[in-house]
Amino acid sequence: MVRIACKTADLLPLDAIEDLQGGLKKRSKKDIELITKSIEKYGFSFPFFVWKSEGHNYCLDGHGRRLALLELEKKGEQIPPLPVVYIEAKDEEEAKQKLLRLNSQYGQMTIDSVIEFTDGVKVDWDDLALPSETIKIVGEEVVGGFPVLASGDREPFQQMTFTLADKQAEIVKEAIKQAKAEGFGESDINANSNGNALAAICEAYCGN
């Protein structure tokens, strides 16, 4: 049975909580697996925010947890009544306005701020998907202010996406290839040779 690790005045069965978000936020199978892992380890720790309207209980916050619980239920896990907090909204438009605000990020984490916040805390990085688009810390040891990447198979602590024309992409690939051939694919803090080579190229440019 899923362990409930928070308390509210109201409870609802899982099948009474309805989706309102639709396709607003895309979640991969991996995303749901991470949420499931968190629930299994720490219990259901955060209540659903629900808008109640004409006999329906629409989920405003907790869609990922709802999907993870449905997957657990399919696997035979017993889901007890779940803590909910009711959010007032005069109509669907206002409910969706509030849902958007629940999903808005009014701030940004940085590598330094996460390291400072977690100082002295043994964090399970493997089931975290931090909300910042620029960082994803996966190591615990810190070298020069940055977490160490233990394996090339692990995701980098920072993911960057660029939109390039085909010709530009080929230039970047060739530059990385040449940098690796010259020995710039190794680093003490990162096992990803492509990332090391690209960093070396950028470092050389910035040093000019």
Q: Where are the domains of the chain?
A: 10-102, 111-207
- Cβ neighbours for 137, distance < 8 A, ≥ 6 positions apart: 111, 114, 115, 125, 128, 130, 147, 157
User: Does position 134 have pLDDT exceeding 50, yes or no?
Assistant: no
Contact status, residue 34 vs residue 111, Cβ threshold 8 Å: no
Mean pLDDT value of segment 127-143: 49
Sole residue written with tokens 């449905």: 70
pLDDT classification of 122: cutoffs 50, 70, 90: confident
Q: What is the mean pLDDT of the chain?
A: 82
Amino acid 157: pLDDT: 55
Mean pLDDT value of segment 118-122: 78
- pTM of the predicted structure, to 2 decimals: 0.62
CB neighbour class for 49 (10 Å; exposed up to 12, middle 13-18, buried from 19): middle
Amino acid 159: pLDDT: 59
CATH number of 10-102: 3.90.1530.10
% of residues, the chain, pLDDT over 70: 79
